[in-house]
């Protein structure tokens, strides 16, 4: 099959205003989740911890775009048109323009306008158009309220005056219906808006494949290019739908996460919602090269299928396998040659199991001895952006192929049982890795949607040979630094000259931290660290989320209000202290029964000293982690790695104690047992 070149990229997702920011966030494992802001949807109105509560949802977190402003004046859009049109239209227009500029067509200059088309993935337009419909529901509200007040004995003259005032207040937030309202509330006119602005005449329309919409739009555009209908295509998706209709609807299907959102994990329990927009510019590869366009990657094939008689809201193995088969038949190579999969990965128990089972079986049947491929999902970073989800994963995979880097599988903490089986064909990554030297630079991207729609697109690196091999691989300095930065928790440190001053600082942070995202918690920790000045009254909190940080800070406030100056919580996550003399440090080395991971976790990702210890020992990655033959080397390795990191940080202990197996590590600390012997 002739290849389709990806020549332009642009996006706006939570905590990512550009593809570069999205890629750096992926490498660094930054997660954009935060408590759902009241400005978007009041938790007091809609949240209930009981999943069965009517008209309520049970998840409190989402990934939302902050600080976005559409340049109406710069785009020469009339104020009335702007106000009457759903924001999805303007976000899509903005991002499409940026994608065209990235492709070398700034402002649409140089485009073959009669042979340039636009295909946008979207479902239900957006939350703003839906909210504005409430204006037209006033007659129902008036009748219902009037009937209730008459039953309470209100006279007609009093009722009429009250309802007249209320009507004005009720309608005030919603723009008046005008000649732009209907077009501004339709999904298809999102694509039409882009065509209209840039004077494109190759055709513009919206495809609705539910959560598969935006990846389906890319496949649709590729087909139009391959068949010669278009020379340039803008494709992607937009979704701004964090509103009661969608969120409560997902809650009633059980799809929202009841605990921490995990992806391809033993505790996959649902997703947190997200939003955003992604657009790509596509051309036939030969034409793009002829024009000297920068090619990020090429589309080698795609496959689309439906689940037939399968479930309407849950994926089926057979349907997904069919999309995979069609994609790789079109590509001309096998699924076993692909080193990276950007999966659908919603984090639901059924969805993750179905996807991993189908893809693992396809690879195992194609080549049982093929090295395991990496798999991840961008939803672990920005939540489920629904109609804009597929293109978000597509952009991430394109950038991975372009950089020759396998990004970490954000959100996979304890890999799913399908991935933990001996000889599993897939694996998740805790940190970025160079593209395998002996593997073709190929990636597969998947999206699935309600109604049983499945889409899979295959990418190949530009500049590689017929076998997909060619350009060098490796991590540059910036990538190495970003890849080393993810960690499992943050340390918030505060100090002050008096208890009153310390209380004020703890209270300030406790009031602020609920509004930050998971990723920004690291920024908060760094900002707090920079304010330290060695003062005697001190507080510390270890937190894995903004919610936990607030909870532990409130605990410190309670202790300070009770007059306490010393506190150490049982779980070690909150600390108060008053320094009166130089500290002494002691180490306690654990015995058998501690932990269960052999990966080295954040310690190994962050510190070369720990990585060197783990690389030397080569602990098993699968099997029974509690078995003595695995547990003892695992625990001793973890202790030795921790000791090397503490030495690297300049920490020296005055005394060390070992429990059980830890006695041997303590002897090593004392110099009685060498590292090789340990």
Which pTM does this prediction carry? 0.91
CA atoms within 13 A on the CB side of 551: 10
What tens digit of pLDDT does each residue of 306-361 get?
999 887 888 899 999 999 999 999 999 999 999 999 999 999 999 999 999 999 99
Q: Are 112 and 287 in contact (CB under 8 A)?
A: no
What tens digit of pLDDT does each residue of 68-91 get?
999 999 999 999 999 999 999 999
What is the dihedral sign for C-alpha 538, 541, 542, 545? negative
Residue 65 confidence class, pLDDT cut points 50, 70, 90: very high
Identify which of 88, 110, 106 has the alpha carbon closest to the alpha carbon of residue 97: 106
The terminus-to-terminus CA distance of the chain in angstroms comes to 57
Whole-number pLDDT of residue 1: 65
Q: How many CB atoms lie within 10 A of CB 674?
A: 9
Residue 625 confidence class, pLDDT cut points 50, 70, 90: confident
Whole-number pLDDT of residue 338: 97
pLDDT at 286 over 90: yes
pLDDT at 250 over 70: yes
Whole-number pLDDT of residue 611: 86
Return mean pLDDT, the chain. Answer: 93
What tens digit of pLDDT does each residue of 501-554 get?
999 999 999 999 999 999 999 999 999 999 999 999 999 999 999 999 999 999
Residue 490 confidence class, pLDDT cut points 50, 70, 90: very high
What tens digit of pLDDT does each residue of 399-438 get?
999 999 999 999 998 899 999 888 999 999 988 999 999 8
What tens digit of pLDDT does each residue of 429-461 get?
988 999 999 899 999 999 999 999 999 999 999
pLDDT at 43 over 70: yes
pLDDT at 470 over 80: no
For 654-672, give one letter per residue: b (16+ CB within 10 A) or e: eebebeebbebbbbbbeee
Identify which of 174, 348, 379, 185 has the alpha carbon closest to the alpha carbon of residue 268: 348
Task: Please report, to the nearest 10 degrees, the dihedral formed by the alpha carbons of residues 519, 524, 530, 533 taken in order.
Answer: -140
pLDDT at 364 over 70: yes
User: In 3-state terms, what secondary structure has residue 415?
Assistant: strand
Residue 469 confidence class, pLDDT cut points 50, 70, 90: low
pLDDT at 220 over 70: yes
What tens digit of pLDDT does each residue of 128-140 get?
999 999 999 999 9
Residue 677 confidence class, pLDDT cut points 50, 70, 90: confident
616: exposed, middle or buried (Cβ count in 10 Å: 0-12, 13-18, 19+): exposed
What is the Cα–Cα distance from 632 to 583, expressed in whole angstroms? 32
pLDDT at 471 over 80: no
What is the Cα–Cα distance from 286 to 196, expressed in whole angstroms? 28
Q: Are 341 and 459 in contact (CB under 8 A)?
A: no
pLDDT at 464 over 70: no
Whole-number pLDDT of residue 424: 93
pLDDT at 193 over 90: yes
Residue 468 confidence class, pLDDT cut points 50, 70, 90: low
Whole-number pLDDT of residue 486: 80
What is the Cα–Cα distance from 410 to 230, expressed in whole angstroms? 37
What tens digit of pLDDT does each residue of 92-125 get?
999 999 999 999 999 999 999 999 999 999 999 9
What is the Cα–Cα distance from 478 to 207, expressed in whole angstroms? 38
Residue 472 confidence class, pLDDT cut points 50, 70, 90: low
- Outline where 367-514 has alpha helix (H): 379-382, 389-403, 417-420, 477-483, 499-512
């Amino acid at each position: 099959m002739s290849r389709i070149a990806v020549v332009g990229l642009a996006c706006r997702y939570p905590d990512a205003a550009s593809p570069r920011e999205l890629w750096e966030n992926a490498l660094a494992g930054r997660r954009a989740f935060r408590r759902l802001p009241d400005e978007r949807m009041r938790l007091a109105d809609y949240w209930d911890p009981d999943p069965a509560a009517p008209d309520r949802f049970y998840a409190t977190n989402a990934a939302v775009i902050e600080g976005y402003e559409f340049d109406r004046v710069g785009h020469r859009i009339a104020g009335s048109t702007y106000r009457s049109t759903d924001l999805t239209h303007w976000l899509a227009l903005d991002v499409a323009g940026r994608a065209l500029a990235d492709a070398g067509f700034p402002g649409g200059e140089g485009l073959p306008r009669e042979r340039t088309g636009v295909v946008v993935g979207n479902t239900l337009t957006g939350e703003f158009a839906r909210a504005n419909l409430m204006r037209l529901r006033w007659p129902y509200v008036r009748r219902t309220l009037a009937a209730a007040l008459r039953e309470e004995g209100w006279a007609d003259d009093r009722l009429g005056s009250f309802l007249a005032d209320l009507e004005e207040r009720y309608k005030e937030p919603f723009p008046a219906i005008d000649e732009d309202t209907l077009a501004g509330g339709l999904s298809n006119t999102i694509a039409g808006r882009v065509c209209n602005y840039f004077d494109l005449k190759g055709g513009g329309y919206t495809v609705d494949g539910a959560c598969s919409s935006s990846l389906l739009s890319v496949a649709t555009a590729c087909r139009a290019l391959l068949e010669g209908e278009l020379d340039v295509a803008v494709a992607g998706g937009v979704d701004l739908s964090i509103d009661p209709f969608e969120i409560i609807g997902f809650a009633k299907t059980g799809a929202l996460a009841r605990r921490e959102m995990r992806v391809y994990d033993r505790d996959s329990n649902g997703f947190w919602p997200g939003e955003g927009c992604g657009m790509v510019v596509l051309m036939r590869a030969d034409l793009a090269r002829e024009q000297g366009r920068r090619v990020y990657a090429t589309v080698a094939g795609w496959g689309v299928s439906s689940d037939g008689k399968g479930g309407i809201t849950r994926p089926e193995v057979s349907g997904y396998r069919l999309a995979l088969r069609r994609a790789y038949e079109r590509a001309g190579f096998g699924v076993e040659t692909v080193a990276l999969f950007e999966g659908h990965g919603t984090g639901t128990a059924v969805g993750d199991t179905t996807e991993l089972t189908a893809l693992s079986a396809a690879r195992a049947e194609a080549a049982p001895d093929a090295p395991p491929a990496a798999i991840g999902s961008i939803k672990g970073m920005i939540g489920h952006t629904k109609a804009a989800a597929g293109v978000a994963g597509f952009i991430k995979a394109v950038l991975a192929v372009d950089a020759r880097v396998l990004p970490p599988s954000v959100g996979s903490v304890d890999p799913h049982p399908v991935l933990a089986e001996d000889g599993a064909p897939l694996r998740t990554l805790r940190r970025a890795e160079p593209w395998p030297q002996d593997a073709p630079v190929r990636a597969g991207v998947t999206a699935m949607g309600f109604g049983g729609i499945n889409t899979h697109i295959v990418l190949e690196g530009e500049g590689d040979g017929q076998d997909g091999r060619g350009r060098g691989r490796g991590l540059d300095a910036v990538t190495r630094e970003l890849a080393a930065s993810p960690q499992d928790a943050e340390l918030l440190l505060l100090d002050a000259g008096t208890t009153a001053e310390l209380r004020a600082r703890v209270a300030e942070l406790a009031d602020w931290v609920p509004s930050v995202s998971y990723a920004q918690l690291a920024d908060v920790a760094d900002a707090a660290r920079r304010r330290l000045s060695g003062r005697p009254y001190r507080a510390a909190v270890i937190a894995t989320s903004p919610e936990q940080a607030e909870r532990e800070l409130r605990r410190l406030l309670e202790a300070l209000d009770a007059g306490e100056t010393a506190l150490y919580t049982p779980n070690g996550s909150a600390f108060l202290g008053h320094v009166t003399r130089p500290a002494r440090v002691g180490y306690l080395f654990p015995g058998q029964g501690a932990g269960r991971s052999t990966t080295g976790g954040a310690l190994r990702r962050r510190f070369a000293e720990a990585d060197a210890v783990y690389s030397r020992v080569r602990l098993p990655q699968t099997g029974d982690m509690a078995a003595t033959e695995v547990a003892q080397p695992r625990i001793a390795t973890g202790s030795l790695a921790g000791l090397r990191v503490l030495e690297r940080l300049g920490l020296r202990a005055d005394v060390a104690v070992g429990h059980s197996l830890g006695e041997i590590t303590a002897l090593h600390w004392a110099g009685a047992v060498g590292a090789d012997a340990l």
